[in-house]
Structure 1
Amino acid sequence: MVIFQAGWTELVFRQTYLPTAPYHFAFNVPLYTLEQYQLWFDLPYIDAGSPGDRIANFADWKARASYFFDPDGNIVEFIERRDAACEESASGYFQCISEIGLVKEDVKATATWLQQEYGLTPFSKSKPIPDFSAIGDDYGLLILAKMGRPWLFTDCKAMPTRWLMEFIDPTGNYARIDSGAE
């Protein structure tokens, strides 16, 4: 088991002997650090739209992001969010793990279930479409992707992967979501 502490969140990897599909997760980082992080962290960054452009601008989300592949082929993102600005601190360079991909066949039904079961709300800066929806806020988003949809800026098709998320829901109660990947 490997545990990464990112601000007030933890990312835990457990060894498995079962095949897994690449998945997506993101770290909130301080504003105006992406260029610096690309110098500090020699990673296989993904072109964000055009060759050599390694920073994507998301005007509607008030964010900038860089994407890269980790050693297992997961799509990892460093994202600066103007509405969740954070400072570098003694705990490190990351504010929190702010996104994880949840791959399902029916995105709309999954979004409805998350709202009814956990009180989670659609991300106010993103309009849901049939193969994509974002649920949560700038500090924690479930990125709902339809099975087979390519992850942003890659040819990697979104496929179900098993993960477990523990969090405090909007009413202050402890909650767990199991991705239920088959």
Structure 2
Amino acid sequence: MDILNTVLKTNKLNELKYFYKEKLGFTLESETTNSFKIKFGSSAIEFNSSGVKGSPYYHFACDIPSNQFEEAKEWIKQQTDLLTEDGEDEIDFTNLSAKSLYFEDPAGNIVEFIARLKDNPPSNQPFSLKSIQRLSEMSLVVQDKMAVAEKLKAFHIVNRDDTEIAPNSLSFMGDQKAKVFLLLTTPGRRWLFSNKISTVFPLDITLDSGILINVNDKNEFDIRNEAT
């Protein structure tokens, strides 16, 4: 399972475009009056202001080379501030053999760079935006987590390690082949390294299998396979 494209809503389109293009150095893949798209390795995110309600924000994570965490950290610190938790500006997930850092964009999106030490390919090139490998985590906040989990399982998207899904915790939903996950949760959970609380906002996710996932502006969840 790989995330090909994600559409996220925003009421700060111009601020985001400046941040990602001018401050971080991303190239715009496409642009309209109400949107722009940028690439995160093999994945893409489109920020879209059409029909936006409120002030949407999301959490997403990008894979970086397994051997470049410290280099990536220094690169990010030259561009923007790192988020902290309990005085620390990084976290070591020892059970996952992974290290992460976090920063926030002008819309309040919590962006994570994660080096999966046993899984992400290393690089011998200096760290840059070209070093980002893919989107490996995308938040999926829904009103009825257990019902949505059942719908995901029908498309072979299951909890990490195929463990039982708990109604009130964060579940990492994937296909057990790639280390790519939908972070399934209900409203009210605080995102790590942030004071942001998980909230249902509209989004679209396209997976490489042809599966399309949607949360609409009425907080309704839908999943379908366009390849069948």
- The reply to whether TM is greater than 0.5 is yes
How does 1:1-182 map onto structure 2 within 5 Å? 1-16=35-50, 17-41=52-76, 42-48=79-85, 50-51=86-87, 53-88=88-123, 92-116=130-154, 118-124=155-161, 128-131=165-168, 132-136=170-174, 137=176, 138-169=178-209, 174-182=210-218
Q: In the alignment, is the contact (CA less than 8 A) between 1:61 and 1:125 conserved in 2?
A: no
For residues 21 and 91 of structure 1, do their structure 2 counterparts lie closer, same or farther at Cα, with a shift above 3 Å needed? closer
TM-score norm. by structure 2 comes to: 0.69
Q: Which amino acid aligns with 1:106?
A: D
The percent identity for this pair of structures is 25
| Aligned-residue offset at 1:129 | 3.5
Amino acid at match of 1:100: M
* Whole-angstrom CA distance in 2 between matches of 1:61 and 1:130: 22
Distance 1:33 1:128, change over 3 A: farther
The question of whether the paired residues in 1 share the 8 Å contact of 2:206 and 2:212 is answered with yes
More helix by share: 2
AA partner of residue 66 (structure 1): L
d(CA) in 2 for partners of 1:56 and 1:91? Answer: 21
* 8 A Cα contact 1:134 1:144, kept in partner: yes
- Which letter does structure 1 place at the counterpart of 2:215? S
CA contact (8 A) 2:67 2:117 kept: no
Give the letter for the 1:92 counterpart. Answer: K
Q: What is the CA–CA distance in structure 1 between the aligned matches of 2:171 and 2:103, rounded to whole Å?
A: 21
TM-score, length of structure 1 as denominator length: 0.85
Corresponding letter in the other structure for 1:123: R
SS of the equivalent of 2:184 reads strand
Alpha carbons of structure 1 residues 4 and 139: separation in structure 2 relative to 1, 3 Å: farther
Q: CA deviation at 1:101?
A: 0.5
Cα distance, 1:108 vs structure 2: 2.5
Q: Which has the larger radius of gyration?
A: 2
* Aligned mates of 1:87, 1:181 — CA distance in 2: 40
- Counterpart CA distance in 2 for 1:85 and 1:10 is 18
Distance 1:99 1:46 in 2: 18
Unmatched 5+ stretches in structure 1: none
User: Does the 8 Å CA contact 1:148/1:158 hold for their aligned counterparts?
Assistant: yes
Instruction: Point out the more displaced range, 86-95 or 102-111.
Output: 86-95
Alpha-carbon shift at residue 181 of structure 1 (Å): 4.5
